[in-house]
Copies of this chain bind each other. A is one copy, B any other.
Amino acid sequence: MKTVPFTEVTIKDRFWAPRQATNSEKTIPHELEQCRTTGRINNFAKAAGLISGNFEGIFFNDSDVHKLVEAASYTLQTHPNPAWETELDEVIDTIAKSQQKDGYLNSYFTLVEPQKRWQNLGMMHELYCAGHLFEAGVAHYQATGKQKLLDVACRFANLIDNTFGPGKRDGLPGHQGIELALVKLARVTGEARYMSLAEYFVTKRGHSPSVFEKELENPDLPGGLGAYQHHYTRDGKYEGTYSQAHLPIQEQTECVGHAVRAMYLYAGAADIAAATGDVGITNALDALWQNVEKRLYVTGGVGPSGHNEGFTQDYELPNFSAYAETCASIGLIFWAHRMFLLKGESRFVDVLETALYNGALSGISLDGTGFFYQNPLASRGGRHRHPWFGCACCPPNIARLLGSLGQYIYAQSEKDLWINLYVGGTASVKVAKDVSLKLTQETDYPWSGEVKITVDPDTPAKFTLNLRVPSWCSNFDININGESYNAKAASNGYLSIDREWHANDTVELKLDMPIEQIYAHPYVRDNLGRSALHRGPLVYCFEDVDNPDGAFETLSFVNDTAIEAMFDSELLGGITLIRGTGTVFDASDWENSLYHPKPSLKRMAVTAIPYYAWCNRGDGQMAVWIF
């Protein structure tokens, strides 16, 4: 099973296409400017000797530029933009020029501690930055056919491969990411050594004695021992859970530590399992997936705690203090996508879709220039999206996710085709060996569950079209060429249509998309007695700006009256609102009383908006889970 790459997919709808346009018109130029003004781009110029000066910012800032180059590369494919294309080429030139003769590329170490390369793999992110460089090189090559950055990436990858591995130095990234990047590099170049190196990084992790344990013994560690000890020791002893280095991957069953690192590791491990067929890794990933489903916000957020930017324990999912980093939801999308490719089951895409439409998308403002690092599920007010961060991993991450969205919509096996996401647009694929097929989706998803699919092979072809039936959908209808088609979803979650397809065959899928109340497992203490609303893939939330009738935190949704979904094209870029009836406590009851036998409940019209759209009209109160 492989994905239909972004280069073969166009998006033409009123949900994602405008977001990709905003990505091109607002987000990418905004982030380029941020990278410029914060010295991130100049760090490369300095390392290249093009200008003089000291390294600026945090030691892993290179990665932000790499991710932004990757995002811009995808966007060249869908929404090229003369306003920044020249600058992008210049940035790539500068990055390339900063590469050292031996292939090494990291502006921090080149400028600040050139003698201390690879000495602090646990904390200093050289391999992590390298991974993002590789992903940028691959994306730029795929989008433009230009090999310059890909060559840079390969030279660096060769150096890393010559440095680390069996019979060479032991080494592992403290922050994962290079694993899945090496797999991409291997696939695009055909170089097996990159796949082997990825496998080494995935499978070496968690074996004793640990690379990190040894680094802890270095009194002259670049970056110093303090932060290292904080993250890698407990009670004075080495402890690897923070970066998932506590057990070999095959023995891991619990999602632990820093959530983004975990997601990137599991995604890379899924790539390796797919490439090698390693059953031990696949079984571990099954167990880890089972575990993440006990640690998952309803929005697709993961990692509730700011303390370790990561996981805590099953069912610990506080709302107000939810960390749920944007990058972690994006990482979950990476992992879920690869789990689908590995196992062909729609349940992984269900989680992917949830994270995409909610916990990841909430990371960016509607205007494309404000970003959440944390994505809480409730707020007492005072939350803002920010134009940038000192540690700016999230803004370019959401930009590359949006730019590369096409790749998540379709997948194919040797013969057959899968539609995973319902997104208006087209895909060009080869099916049934050599038949060129143009596939078109026309839909107003996620606002509507109606999808018209046109299957247009250049010659009649027999293959199976697998349509994902989302887990939120209990009822659906299908017409093929106007005639009712009777089918059920299989246990893998797909509805398979196996037939000979002809030019301009149409499949009309109508997914029932009711408004539903959802409840959380009773062990999720913060949600006891509460429910949330969702409609289709969208989780809804309540903001006090829509529900200003005092006592916001006492908001209850009542079930005894009509509830309706209605599209409002003027609001928040066009959204389907949910309107119903709710109650709040009447504040006048409580002026002089702490306890009240019969507090009045003021009935009122209540309005919910999609969670992703919250905090675009001021910094008021918000709640996903209400009574």
Contacts and interface: CB of A to CB of B under 8 A. Distances in A.
Interface of A: 293-294, 296, 298, 315, 472, 516-522, 524-525, 528-530, 551, 553-554, 556, 585, 590, 592-599, 627
B519 A627 contact: no
Contacts of A294: 594
A518 B590 CA distance: 13
Given A519-B598, A519-B599, A521-B594, 20 more contacts: A293-B594, A294-B594, A296-B594, A298-B595, A472-B597, A518-B595, A518-B596, A519-B585, A519-B595, A519-B597, A520-B594, A520-B595, A521-B590, A521-B593, A521-B596, A522-B554, A522-B590, A528-B553, A529-B529, A529-B556
A51 B594 CA distance: 54
Nearest to A354: B595
Given A522-B551, A594-B293, A627 B517 contact: no
A551 B590 CA distance: 32
Shortest Cβ-Cβ A-B pairs, 8 listed:
A529-B627, A529-B529, A522-B554, A519-B599, A521-B590, A522-B585, A516-B597, A518-B595
B521 A597 contact: no
Contacts of A590: 521-522
A17 B483 CA distance: 84
A627 B518 contact: no
8 contacts: A294-B594, A518-B596, A519-B595, A520-B594, A521-B593, A528-B554, A528-B627, A529-B556
A472 B597 CA distance: 9
A105 to B, nearest CB: 42
B595 A521 contact: yes
A516 B597 CA distance: 7
A611 B293 CA distance: 38
Contacts of A529: 529-530, 556, 627
Contacts of A315: 594
A597 B551 contact: no
A519 to B, nearest CB: 5
A397 B449 CA distance: 68
A571 B296 CA distance: 44
A267 to B, nearest CB: 21
A216 to B, nearest CB: 35
Contacts of A520: 594-596
Nearest to A626: B529
Contacts of A585: 519, 522
B522 A553 contact: yes
Contact of A524 (B521, B556, B592, B594): B594
Contacts of A551: 522
Contacts of A556: 529
A366 to B, nearest CB: 27
A519 B596 contact: yes
Contacts of A524: 594
A577 to B, nearest CB: 20
Contact of A518 (B296, B298, B597): B597
Contacts of A554: 522, 528
A322 to B, nearest CB: 14
A451 B599 CA distance: 30
A472 B296 CA distance: 44
Contacts of A597: 472, 516-519
Contacts of A298: 595
